[in-house]
Structure 1
């Protein structure tokens, strides 16, 4: 067989191809409206194996058929996706559906197009979560095998990381539960002793310390539980101004008896695709840090600078700042410069950012304040497919 793949122009449709192989095979979904593309791809991958597991080829001849298969088989490792099928951008709609609606971040999507003008490479790769972009004319059999191998390896690594994270989540929840039970018992017995005769000044001091430390430990356990429970929920088009207002109102409520907060908010009404609950949780943590490290009445500036491809959010305070020696540790669990802090605030911010694929940058000057910058990609609001 020649190394060059030849894709025919006719667009015959004959329904989904039958599966072959076992449940332990790597699943590769071919999405194209040309039957010859399916035949040639299957021929190339027929004897292909990676780490001792063969490939199971699945076929979809339209974007809608591909969406249905992805619902039924969320464990597809690689999708070889055509752009132009029942519509000029059907493939792009499939990619958007997989990431935003089905919330499948694991399948590796390789876009194959015979008409690059319908989906310019830069626009597609930056605007959608596409893992590879190939023109059909450049895909020889060797290059196809290389692309699929790279994609499967990436899928395997993502699944391994996810499994490890799930294991750590279960461990964290279990440990938190056990510590909470012991903390309740310690505090309970301390209160009993205090009521039954711990009236001397020295004993009262000791019992007070036990109760205070038990309360602090309980607070830390709650923060760890919140951290372990962070998981990306439904991504929704959300007005960023409303989200920031919700976060600032929560801080205002906490600061009501302490003089409040002076806000300077420069934020146009702009839509971003986020999990609103996680967004608010992350920004409450950022804003609470700004408040806690401010002297007197906190003064905090929030500036939102949207563009077509990203939305940048800056939070600037005029607080005590962070020393250079402490900067490398600001994301470490339980590292805190607050007397009663748990050290989980920026850990939560970083995890929310990782779930959303945001970038976080923190610059700080001791004695002058701290600037936190969040960069939110606007992949699903770029006008693609409209």
Structure 2
């Protein structure tokens, strides 16, 4: 470096991002690099800028006469804020190559670069501004003292802002690192606490579910006892009026037979008058319809009597095991009779009983299982369909199969089917306990209940019970 460059300002060696802004603000002068191969340009620039001050701070000039010398000075003095750079030096584009090296090799994006050229036509201003990272492009002939002052002031002011932004960016990055460290530490602590809480919550949920199951079992037992008492009362209340209604209907039918015989005698004695009266009151239709009504009433009374008998049978059953139970009649047929009024009109129940050995079971409990399965099948069939019940026995094992042609279930639903409180019904329309209780009832009989189904393929429940003498 020549003697002309000895007026360089000595900068602090510390160049960390945290102290760059403080060092920059504490500098006594603004460091500026003049790069030109013409010594007269250096002397003229020094003369013109000798009285320049910005924010009460003068300039300190560094001088380079080519690209490599300029890069060397920048490596030793990275805090130079402005470069006055000639375009044409040893080659037509040495200045532009110097710009690339500053930005790419030195990775210096802060320093402001003002290009000065005496041959503007060689490198058009628009092309240079688009293709190179520079801040101003001036012809040496237009750079009067005032314009030079203006360009340098704008460049220094921009450099100040960039240094401030970069410093704040690094400070923010430091804050973020510390914050992320604190967050990670706090997250680990919270995760540990959450795991402890989740474990405690799981235990509480398990305990709560067990209590709810026990509570529901007690409620279920109480309901069955209440239903038994209610069934006994209803059966008793039905039997009394049923008796005299049946008797009166029989008497009424006898009266009608007598009336019919009398009318036939009148028709023979006075056929013309009888025909006139018959046509006037449509007696032929009435006579025919009365027979139909009597048959219908008799059928209805028989049905009421059957229901009353089932209610009485149901009320006499206890939760304790009963010996010599005919599962076909005392369990399955009873369940069918109990739910038949709730089954959709277009659903047909086909019961195909096999020959079963009488067994010791809890019939009221098993009837409840069949009621649950029948009502679920009823819900699964949207309109018309069939529910089929088969029973069979092989050695000491009784098998009950309840099959429907309803909508079926997915594997995911099947896996949860016997879980307490699981239901596919809308909120408020099902408790999700029917099949869970049914499962426990079958288990209490040392039996098993299984299900197979598929979407659109219907559902098959299979109950297997040991024969207990």
TM bin (shorter chain): 0.3 to 0.5
Larger radius of gyration: 2
Q: Which has the higher helix share?
A: 2
Normalising by structure 2, what TM-score? 0.39
Normalising by structure 1, what TM-score? 0.47
Q: Which has the higher contact order (CA 8 A, sep 6+)?
A: 1
